[in-house]
Amino acid sequence: MNHPSPATRVAFLGLGIMGGGMAHRILGAGFPLTVYNRNPAKAAPLAAAGVRVADSPAAAAANADVIISMVADDAASRSLWLGESGAITAVAPGAVVIESSTVTVSWVRELAVAVAGQGGEFLDAPVTGSRVHAAAGELNFLVGGPGPTLEKVRPVLAAMSKTITSLGPVGSGALVKLINNFVCGVQVAAIGEAIALIERGGLDRAKALEVLMNGAPGSPLVKTMAGRMTAPDYTPNFHLRLMAKDLGYALQEGAGHALRLETAAAALKVFQAGIAAGLGEQDMAAVIEPMRANAPKGQGASNK
């Protein structure tokens, strides 16, 4: 395959919170684009802009030079690639497959073998960033796979990104992404518990949070989550259920290396409580609500 140019044909599979914004960035960069989404309604804005909408993953991938997947988990990715009318059957020799979903290292390696069997090339390239970053083309790609393959598709990734980091062989991007997300999950659970304790302790919440946000705990993520938790605003930027999934995947990877990720395990319990409370489709900031719901009567914060 020739070095990609704006004539490079791109197939994008999965148009959820992240994928929709990413696909729009590819379109805006001038690449011929075909998309597929299990729910065709999510493709309507792209169709209105002239993008071809395929009726199956295989139909989307047919004749594509670069095929990108962005779905929820291992099961969704496996179905997309290897299921009925799966995209793997349409991967042409020399085409580059990019799995940008947050999935397990074992599935990434299995998919890489399947792609190689079709004569294609493979990168695992999950991203950090939220819905806002996807729409703005400011994602950070974490790439596992051969350097020459990355260079072939760099212009495509550049259309969606702020940074592109090559981390090593296939699986490296997937593992770093799970490590990144479990650390994020621990922080979100911790600030949720902290705000709940502030409220139950009857403190002036604004003053107490000012101390935390301007001190060592005040990471960018913690500041964002504190703002959303106190608003409260749970419009999804990152679904609560997906953070629970990522924490579970991180625990699985840790176990594979004889390492028990105790903080990830504790955070997963907090997120599972959120799912049990019916908050799985809300933003992960909603993880605080079960803590608030269990507050004894008469306890709360002064929010002046």
- Any idea which residues carry the catalytic annotation? 177
CB of 253 closer than 8 Å to CB of 104: yes
Q: Which amino acid is at 83?
A: G
CB of 138 closer than 8 Å to CB of 127: no
Q: Name the H helices within the chain.
A: 19-28, 44-48, 57-61, 74-82, 105-117, 131-136, 147-158, 172-200, 205-213, 220-230, 240-256, 262-276, 289-293
The burial of 265, by beta-carbon neighbours within 10 Å (0-12 exposed, 13-18 middle, 19 or more buried), is given as middle
CB of 142 closer than 8 Å to CB of 127: yes
Strand-pairing partners, residue 23, are none
Q: What whole-number distance in Å separates Cα of residue 170 and Cα of residue 157? A: 17
Q: What whole-number distance in Å separates Cα of residue 278 and Cα of residue 79? A: 26
The distance from CA 83 to its chain's CA centroid, rounded to whole angstroms, is 22
Which CA distances in Å does 25 have to 123, 134, 151, 228, 299? 20, 8, 19, 27, 47
Q: What whole-number distance in Å separates Cα of residue 227 and Cα of residue 244? A: 21
Q: Which residue has the tokens 């770093």?
A: 176
